[in-house]
């Protein structure tokens, strides 16, 4: 009864927002392999409880009151909005069908990217709008998860979801008329496991990933057990035919691809988020054969123009090599090596009639190399300095379109021909701000065990190494996701105020391949945190900054990184920004989609993995009386990947430990999820809160820019 009375008190909290709301404790104790662990804020996990919702509203009011009162907040928001709403068109996700190129076009101030069809990359004015979420939902809450054109280009299947939920249903559109067909296939895409689709040869239907539908499963199981079904156009979806998947793991994450002629379909089935995958091939007779097991370590596959299958393999090659199988071959042992392992980590590739174009990572920045089908190196394609290849599209005549961008140069699509000559196409994004006064420095930090960690630093050319520059260090370190150079015009707001921005290429990412990833996952996760701390200390030692002027930022797995970094070394940082993070590592796998992450993080059900998780779990390493840096925590109420309760619990624990100073703020957006598919306005609002918080906590006197 006493705790229920406290919950009622929370419900009746005043809504002034001037102070952080009190958080009642209701201790729960769990025992893991003889170790007792107390949890005071377990009750904040259940969003269905009215008191939890009231507590979250009160936290939002408090955060809003603090952020809105920060100096020059309105001017910061106005500056960011002017940059974000600049009419700078960009194109992504290019797919070619015959003479038509399909792409997602992003054209601020529109809130969401929309699907277009173009005649040529040299003629963006030829773009016809096929599907526009801004028309379907003028408020900007509907987004395109993915699209797949039929092999003949007559139709395009589009997954649409709402509010950042990533819960996508597929609709079908006729390309010639942009007319929506009656077909609507539910529960194709989801958070974490995603979704996929592959058309058959004559465009009469498609294979798709299908999540269970009630009453097949219930509760949380509805977001697992992904299988593959076939939908024939103009037929009821409840008559769709099962294809494969009953043998897939519960945590399957499946993608699908058709060969150019539609005779073959490849299903890549990941075993959760840990990087392991199996490959299944469908032959023209309708049979499916598993061609690569988890032990074969074949991570990703593509069809060549003749139906040959090419796979990136990490078995015995942590930086990757490319294997090829002739059309219809299902015995991996008969594969030949098309591209050997090199000094950079293979990231992606495309096959033309006589070429293999291979994008690889060398610590984060990209290389783009060319091979013939026999594996002979034919040279490298010139790229922007310290840049990333962020898109590839094969063209006839052994040509390739590739998207290239850097921290200082906006993305553009370039064409390289069989002669090796490179030309910029008209699919180039203009920048609303000028980065000519800035530079990028590539350095390295030395981690605790001697590993050299890539560190990319963006700053004004006039920077003085006097240890007094406000500096923001960004990190992630997980899921083999690499910190590649990325053009972000809103970053200029930080730089033009004298800030330094740095990105750390930590273990756990893919900057140096799968070996780099595996040395920062499961029981080796502490390496990621050690790498990040080494990068922070490198910035200090090199006199870019000092602890009182150093802030850190990360999201999702990077939010876990933030929690571990400031609980292990609170003295190093002046401010922390943590987006959609994971903090309670003993409970994460019990959240709605947490099981997907077990192959990346480990499980409390295994004694060795439990010890590793408990050793760094940020929530369990908050110590009362410790002076932690100010923290701004951001989460989305519709997040399908990381349960917002993780942020609620960590906020409550930190506020109790800090006893009111410094500020610990929790910002929960009711109209977003994990950040994927957020509207333009949502992004601007979040960026304004982050910049205002950082300027205030690092003592930056904001100077309006003319």
Q: What is the DSSP string of 425-483?
A: EEEE---SS--TTEEEEEEEEE-TTS-EEEEEEEEETT---SS---EEEE---BTTB--
Omega of the bond prior to 146 within 30 degrees of 0, cis?
A: no
Q: Model confidence at 705, in pLDDT bands (50, 70, 90)?
A: confident
Q: In what order do the strands lie in the sheet with 298-303?
A: 298-303, 309-313, 321-325, 336-339
Is 620 a known active-site residue? Answer: no
What pairs with residue 551 in β-bridges? Answer: 472, 575
Alpha-carbon distance values, 47 to 29, 76, 636 (Å): 21, 33, 13
Alpha-carbon distance values, 676 to 29, 445, 556, 641 (Å): 35, 31, 12, 10
70, 420 contact by CB (below 8 A): no
Is 674 a known active-site residue? Answer: yes
Pairing of strands 321-325, 336-339: antiparallel
Nearest CA-CA partner of 618 in 590, 578, 591: 578
Burial (CB count <10 Å: 0-12, 13-18, 19+), residue 374:
exposed
pLDDT of residue 19: 83
Phi, psi of 437 (to 5 degrees): -90, 10
Task: Give the CA diameter of the chain.
Answer: 79
Rounded-to-integer distance, Cα 426 and Cα 423, Å = 10
Secondary structure class of 551 (helix, strand, coil): strand
The answer, yes or no, to whether residue 4 has pLDDT greater than 70, is: no
The answer, yes or no, to whether residue 3 has pLDDT greater than 60, is: yes
For a pLDDT cut of 90, what percent of the chain falls above it?
Answer: 95
Digit-coded pLDDT (tens) for 300-341:
999 999 999 999 999 999 999 999 999 999 999 999 999 999
What pairs with residue 367 in β-bridges? Answer: 360
What pairs with residue 279 in β-bridges? Answer: 268, 292
657, 622 contact by CB (below 8 A): yes
Residue 689 host element (H or E): helix 680-697
3-state secondary structure 271-339: ECCCCCEEEEEECCCCCEEEEECHHHCEEEEEECCCCCEEEEECCCCCCCEEEEECCCCCCHHHCEEEE
More confident residue, 325 or 5: 325
Q: How is the chain split among helix, strand and coil, in percent rounded to 5?
A: 25, 35, 40
Mean pLDDT of the residues in the chain = 96
Pairing of strands 550-555, 471-474: parallel
Omega of the bond prior to 356 within 30 degrees of 0, cis?
A: no
Q: Which long-range contacts (CB under 8 A, 24 or more apart) does 8-12 make?
A: 8/51, 10/51, 10/54, 10/55, 10/58, 11/50, 11/51, 11/54
pLDDT of residue 373: 93
455, 365 contact by CB (below 8 A): no
The answer, yes or no, to whether residue 30 has pLDDT greater than 60, is: yes
Catalytic residue among 150, 259, 556, 647: 556
Residue 385 host element (H or E): none
Digit-coded pLDDT (tens) for 419-473:
999 999 999 999 999 999 999 999 999 999 999 999 999 999 999 999 999 999 9
Rounded-to-integer distance, Cα 273 and Cα 252, Å = 9
Secondary structure class of 109 (helix, strand, coil): coil
Tokens read off for 23: 């958080």
pTM of the model: 0.96
Where would I find the beta strands (DSSP E) of 562-689? Answer: 575-579, 631-636, 664-669
Number of alpha carbons in the 13 Å side-chain half-sphere of residue 629: 32
Digit-coded pLDDT (tens) for 567-580:
999 999 999 999 99
Q: Model confidence at 661, in pLDDT bands (50, 70, 90)?
A: confident
Mean pLDDT for 675-682 is: 94
pLDDT of residue 452: 98
Rounded-to-integer distance, Cα 523 and Cα 218, Å = 33
Secondary structure class of 122 (helix, strand, coil): coil
The answer, yes or no, to whether residue 415 has pLDDT greater than 60, is: yes
Question: Under the phi-then-psi rule, with left for phi > 0, alpha for psi from -120 to 50, and beta for the rest, what region is 410?
Answer: beta
**In sequence order, what are the residues at sequence separation of 6 or more whose Cβ sits closer than 8 angstroms to the Cβ of residue 356?**
310, 322, 338, 339, 349, 350, 370, 371, 372, 373
Omega of the bond prior to 164 within 30 degrees of 0, cis?
A: no
pLDDT of residue 95: 98
Q: What is the CA radius of gyration of the chain?
A: 25
Mean pLDDT for 516-526 is: 98
Question: Which domains does the chain carry?
Answer: 58-82+442-697 (3.40.50.1820), 351-430 (no CATH)
Q: How many helices (H) and strands (E) does the chain have?
A: 12, 38
Eight-class DSSP state of 93 = E
Q: Model confidence at 1, in pLDDT bands (50, 70, 90)?
A: very low
pLDDT of residue 7: 62
Rounded-to-integer distance, Cα 27 and Cα 45, Å = 13
Mean pLDDT for 9-29 is: 76
Secondary structure class of 531 (helix, strand, coil): helix
Catalytic residue among 308, 517, 674, 679: 674
Length of the chain: 706
The answer, yes or no, to whether residue 66 has pLDDT greater than 70, is: yes
**DSSP sequence for 8-38:** HHHHT-----SSPPP-----EEEEETTEEEE
Alpha-carbon distance values, 471 to 194, 449, 460, 540, 565 (Å): 35, 25, 12, 10, 16
pLDDT of residue 443: 96
Digit-coded pLDDT (tens) for 191-224:
999 999 999 999 999 999 999 999 999 999 999 9
Nearest CA-CA partner of 262 in 117, 373, 97: 97
Digit-coded pLDDT (tens) for 626-660:
999 999 999 999 989 999 999 999 999 999 998 76
The stretches of 175-259 forming alpha helices (DSSP H) are none
196, 209 contact by CB (below 8 A): yes
105, 91 contact by CB (below 8 A): yes
The answer, yes or no, to whether residue 107 has pLDDT greater than 70, is: yes
């Amino acid at each position: 009864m006493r705790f229920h009375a406290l919950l009622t008190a929370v419900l009746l909290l005043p809504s002034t927002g001037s102070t952080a709301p009190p958080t009642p404790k209701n201790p729960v104790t769990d025992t893991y392999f003889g170790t007792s662990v107390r949890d005071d804020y377990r009750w904040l996990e259940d969003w269905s409880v009215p008191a939890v919702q009231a507590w979250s509203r009160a936290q939002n009011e408090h955060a809003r009151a603090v952020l809105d009162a920060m100096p020059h907040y309105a001017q910061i928001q106005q500056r960011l909005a002017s940059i974000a709403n600049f009419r700078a068109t960009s194109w992504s996700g290019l797919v070619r069908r015959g003479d038509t190129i399909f792409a997602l076009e992003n054209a601020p101030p529109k809130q969401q990217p929309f699907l277009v069809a173009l005649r040529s990359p040299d003629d963006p004015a030829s773009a016809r709008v096929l599907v526009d979420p801004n028309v379907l939902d003028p408020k900007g809450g509907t987004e395109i998860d993915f699209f797949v054109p039929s092999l003949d280009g007559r139709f395009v299947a589009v997954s649409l979801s709402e509010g950042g939920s990533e819960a996508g249903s597929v609709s079908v559109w006729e390309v010639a008329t942009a007319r929506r067909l009656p077909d609507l296939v539910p529960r194709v895409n989801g958070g974490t496991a995603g979704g996929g689709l592959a058309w058959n040869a004559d465009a009469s239907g498609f294979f798709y990933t299908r999540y269970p539908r009630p009453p097949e499963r219930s509760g949380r199981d509805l977001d697992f057990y992904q299988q593959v079904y076939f939908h024939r156009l103009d037929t009821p979806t409840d008559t769709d035919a099962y294809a494969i998947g009953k043998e897939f793991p519960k945590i399957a994450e499946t993608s699908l691809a058709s060969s150019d002629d539609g005779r073959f379909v490849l299903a890549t089935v990941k075993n959760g988020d840990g990087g392991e995958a199996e490959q299944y091939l469908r032959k023209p007779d309708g049979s499916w054969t598993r061609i690569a097991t988890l032990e074969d370590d074949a991570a990703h596959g593509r069809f060549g123009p003749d139906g040959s299958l090419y796979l990136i393999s990490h078995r015995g090659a942590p930086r990757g090599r490319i294997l090829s199988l002739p059309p219809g071959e299902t015995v991996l042992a008969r594969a030949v090596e098309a591209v050997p392992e090199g000094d950079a980590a293979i990231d992606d590739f495309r096959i033309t009639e006589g070429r293999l174009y291979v994008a690889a990572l060398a610590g984060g920045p990209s290389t783009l190399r060319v091979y013939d089908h026999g594996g002979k190196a034919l040279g490298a394609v010139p790229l922007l300095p310290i840049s990333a290849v962020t898109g590839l599209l094969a063209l006839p005549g052994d040509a390739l379109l590739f998207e290239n961008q850097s921290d200082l140069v906006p993305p553009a699509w370039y064409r390289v021909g069989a002669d090796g000559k490179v030309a910029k196409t008209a699919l180039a994004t203009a920048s609303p701000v000028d980065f000519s006064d800035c530079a990028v420095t590539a350095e390295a930090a030395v981690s605790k065990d001697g590993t050299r960690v890539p560190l990319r630093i963006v700053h004004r050319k006039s920077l003085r190494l006097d240890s007094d520059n406000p500096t923001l260090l960004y990190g992630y370190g997980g899921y083999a996701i690499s910190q590649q150079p990325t053009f972000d015009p809103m970053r200029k707001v930080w730089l033009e105020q004298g800030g330094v921005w740095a990105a750390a290429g930590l273990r756990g990412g893919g900057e140096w391949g799968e070996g780099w990833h595996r040395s920062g996952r499961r029981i080796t996760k502490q390496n990621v945190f050690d790498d990040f701390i080494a990068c922070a200390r490198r910035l200090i030692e090199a006199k870019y900054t000092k602890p009182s002027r150093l802030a850190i930022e990360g999201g999702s797995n990077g939010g876990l990184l933030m929690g571990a970094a400031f609980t292990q070394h609170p003295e190093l940082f002046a401010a922390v920004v943590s987006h959609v993070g994971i903090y309670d590592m003993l409970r994460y796998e019990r959240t709605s989609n947490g099981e997907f992450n077990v192959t990346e993080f480990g499980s409390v059900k295994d004694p060795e993995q439990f010890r590793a998780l408990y050793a760094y779990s940020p929530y369990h390493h908050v110590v009362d009386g410790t002076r932690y840096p100010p923290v701004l925590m951001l989460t989305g109420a519709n997040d399908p990947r990381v349960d917002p309760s993780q942020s609620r619990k960590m906020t409550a624990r930190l506020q109790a430990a800090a006893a009111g100073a410094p500020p610990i703020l929790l910002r929960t957006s009711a109209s977003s999820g994990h950040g994927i598919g957020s509207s333009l306005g949502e992004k601007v609002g979040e960026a304004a809160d982050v910049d205002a918080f950082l300027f205030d906590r690092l003592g930056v006197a904001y100077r309006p820019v003319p």
